Structure 1
Amino acid sequence: MTDGTAGDGDGERERISTREAADRLGVKPETLYAYVSRGLLGSRRAAGGRGSTFDPLEVAALAARGRAATAGAPASGDTEGGWGRIRTGITLIDPAADSYAFRGVDAVALAEAYAYEEVAEWLWTGELVPGVHFTAPPAPLAAARAAAGALPAGSGPMDRMRVAVIAAGGADPLRFDLARDAVLGSARGLIPTLVDALPPAGGEAVDSAAPIARRLWSRLTARDADPASLRVLDAALALLIDHDLAASTLAVRVAASARAHPYAAVSAGLGALDGPLHGQASALAHRMLRDVLDQGGAGPVVAAHLRAGQRVPGLGHRLYRGEDPRARLLLARLAEVPAAADALAAARDTVATAARHTPLHANVDLALAVLSVASDMPAEAGEAIFAVGRTAGWVAHALEEYGERALRMRPTGIYVGPAAPRPLPPGGGR
């Protein structure tokens, strides 16, 4: 869940440093990394893990688009001046302060003070609704459970949620109504449907009168839910609601730009979430923590990652120079969970060991890994928590996009293939 973008495979072309890329664009390094997070630029970790490198041709193309927008030239995909310049009033990330805000209110403070459903309502409407409760409508829930239950026994929660959202949409005859109230009604039913469609991890599932965090807990672990652990899970859902234009959120806005209904837009987000650089990042951190616990220390595990030329999972974030604010709150709350002591110590050992090589801080994936390891959840649990929490943010972005010009998400490709026209290739004819 790094909410970032990997390099785009530019072969052996010589790459440039962060400072040089920022200078060519006339921006600060913090702004450069914001471009990366929004999918405007690809980056790669520099040799030795110190800083990032950039493709000079990609930097030049972005600079050219910026100059065209400044000159008032028509820009593809946005009414405000260029692909990637997407107006939003949802989330503001401040890299200099290592903080982010939902509709102007500090997101960490919101997660500390309010439950997930309450923060979701704030993001959607700008109003706090104390004690708001999300309930899955019967017909979409029945369809979602049937579809999720038809998957093979070894299917994980993400596999089940991906088919559940499609089935739930098919059972909602009003899904094509894109009026604001209709979309919000669908969202308030879709989030609990994604959770309640999952089979219970042990015994009976918690009934639909419980908060989302309590119901999700019963689907991810057979362990009894203690209040401190539930506070961590609820805070995680609230913190993960949105993080500006991450890859999955951009996919949602592209779908919404084509006027896909909210179920289809959320499905686009779930599809983009599937990958080691976004949704599955917490699973990699989970497995790493298990290895640290099994080997009795982080040294051999960190060394194995570095020897293989791999980043240590759960460390560093493109948008924050210090500790990810989401990790900061979650790790503090995990310190109040007795069962998390060993996993938390393993995480701190990992951070300290890796810091001898490069100064990186814990990110939200490491915090989710501590929660999932300590709670006997599967490695995929962090991605499931992310998906449930982020669905509220995806809906908020879809609502914004429904209010924009349709089909504006249409970037112009930079063709790099052979020149046309070319002769017809030889071969068999009809």
Structure 2
Amino acid sequence: MRDQEPAPQDTERRLSTKEAAELLGVKPETVYAYVSRGQLSSRRVSGGRGSTFDAGEVEALARRNRRESVGGSGSGGELSVRTRLTLIGSDRYFFRGVDAVDLATRHTYEEVAEWLWTGRMLPGSTFTAPSASVAVARRAVAALPEHAAPADLLRVATIAAATADPLRFDLSEGAVPGTARTLIPTLVAALPPAGHRRRDEGPLAHRLWSRLSVHKDPDEASLRALDTALALLVDHDLAASTLAVRLAASARAHAYAAVSAGLGVIEGPLHGAASGLAHRLLQDVLDQGDAAPVIADELRAGRRIPGLGHRLYPGEDPRARALFALLEQIPRAEPALLAARDIVETTARHAPLHANVDLALAVLTASCGMAPSAGETIFAVARTAGWIAHALEEYGERPLRMRPSGLYTGPKPPQPLPE
């Protein structure tokens, strides 16, 4: 005969509407919407007007919401975020489902940016900077030391432009792209000229050229290469800077502040500044006429070879492939192209690495009379459009959804007060 089982006890923990809303990160009205959709059950408070909710049920729904919004990618617990913007394949990448290289080689940077923001192709799109925004941004940039890095110039210009925009806190779907259309040309307009008169009209690539190159009158092939480089670099999924932008947008920072967060990240040598390292390597090879001793010095110093390999592409970076094809149409780029090929072939004896977009950018900057830091400027200006697209997407999500929990590994509490 079985022992008699004890009578079950009512041990379930109940939450008030306010507590449930805080746990779910929603408004109290949304809690009742979950009830109406059958996602939560409620119980009326005895003798009162409110309702209570089973704590376990609420916690399970909160976990489910977090998995659906931000969750593990299935590859080592890395962060993944739902996005409709960029998909990266093994040797191709896509903007809103369209081959990104095809878009970049057939449309201008401005048109590709509009596609990313709105999902519509607007032929002939141009970006115009308001005079008031340009004036305040130029004054702020002019106050910086001469040795300030590109990210410093652009970050200060972004903050200055924000102060000139009283409507910057409008995060609506219609307003944010409008902010981008004025911010991006303001950033370009705020940059000092590269030894000759600024150009403040025409396509954005033409205006940017006058800030980067000592060549006063560029040929069409060079301008097309710069414009295509901008379009190729518009977005690349959740790179480190883009994640920073989305975190800022999740906290409902305005678009200028979100872009500033991205600019704070790209200064790292493993991100936006990588093309400058590739430029210097390429210049060393051009000066010595042979990649072997230059590569040997890098390996002897224990440094990775810049401009080679990409964790997302087992083969050649499709952005590099597209940019190299355009650079081959520029006669003065031939020495730098040969030096880049020498770098790839020499390094292949040590490791089978392919060229990435940083090496292609280095060929562009080295052959077009630009400083080593020019690639960082090109990257930052280009990526601003993608950051705005990600911020716009994040504004449509639940606020503060990207709030990971820390895995505490410190001393076990409680510890005594320190002496």
Q: Cα offset for 1:184?
A: 0.9
Partner of 1:108 in structure 2?
101
Partner of 1:220 in structure 2?
212
> Which of 54, 68, 80 in structure 1 is aligned with 2:69?
80
The alignment status of 1:333 with 2:326, answered yes or no, reads yes
Q: Cα offset for 1:336?
A: 0.6
Cα distance change on mapping 1:90 and 1:294 into 2, 3 Å: same
Aligned mates of 1:78, 1:182 — CA distance in 2: 30
Cα distance change on mapping 1:78 and 1:196 into 2, 3 Å: farther
Q: Cα offset for 1:296?
A: 1.2
Per-residue deviation, residues 93-150 of structure 1 (Å, max 9, x unmatched): 012xx10000000000001110000000011111111111100012111111110111
Contact between 1:117 and 1:132, CA under 8 Å: does it hold in 2?
A: yes
Contact between 1:270 and 1:387, CA under 8 Å: does it hold in 2?
A: yes
> Which of 252, 277, 280 in structure 2 is aligned with 1:284?
277
Aligned mates of 2:298, 2:147 — CA distance in 1: 28
Partner of 1:23 in structure 2?
none
Partner of 1:413 in structure 2?
406
Contact between 2:70 and 2:401, CA under 8 Å: does it hold in 1?
A: no
Residues 186-225 of structure 1: pairs in structure 2 closer than 5 A: 186-208=179-201, 210-223=202-215, 224-225=217-218
SS at match of 1:74: helix
AA of the residue aligned to 1:327: A
AA of the residue aligned to 2:71: G
Partner of 1:125 in structure 2?
118
Partner of 1:381 in structure 2?
374
AA of the residue aligned to 2:211: R
The alignment status of 1:269 with 2:262, answered yes or no, reads yes
Cα distance change on mapping 1:306 and 1:211 into 2, 3 Å: same
The alignment status of 1:92 with 2:87, answered yes or no, reads yes
SS at match of 1:414: coil
How many residues align structurally? 353
SS at match of 1:408: coil
> Which of 105, 120, 138 in structure 1 is aligned with 2:131?
138
The alignment status of 1:248 with 2:237, answered yes or no, reads no
Larger Rg: 2
AA of the residue aligned to 1:94: G
Q: TM-score, normalised by structure 2?
A: 0.82
Q: Cα offset for 1:243?
A: 0.4
Residues 25-40 of structure 1: pairs in structure 2 closer than 5 A: none
The alignment-based identity, stated in percent, is: 66
Partner of 1:56 in structure 2?
none
5+ residue gaps, structure 2, are 1-59, 73-78
- Which has the bigger relative contact order, CA under 8 A and spacing at least 6? 1
The alignment status of 1:390 with 2:377, answered yes or no, reads no
Aligned mates of 2:67, 2:167 — CA distance in 1: 29
AA of the residue aligned to 1:215: R
5+ residue gaps, structure 1, are 1-70
CA RMSD of aligned residues (A): 1.4
Aligned mates of 2:368, 2:356 — CA distance in 1: 19
Q: Cα offset for 1:73?
A: 7.1
SS at match of 1:214: helix
SS at match of 1:85: strand
Aligned mates of 1:301, 1:283 — CA distance in 2: 16
AA of the residue aligned to 1:213: A
Contact between 2:205 and 2:226, CA under 8 Å: does it hold in 1?
A: yes
Contact between 1:248 and 1:269, CA under 8 Å: does it hold in 2?
A: yes
Aligned mates of 1:306, 1:376 — CA distance in 2: 28
SS at match of 1:279: coil
Cα distance change on mapping 1:254 and 1:357 into 2, 3 Å: same
AA of the residue aligned to 1:124: W
AA of the residue aligned to 1:91: T
SS at match of 1:92: strand
Contact between 2:114 and 2:122, CA under 8 Å: does it hold in 1?
A: yes
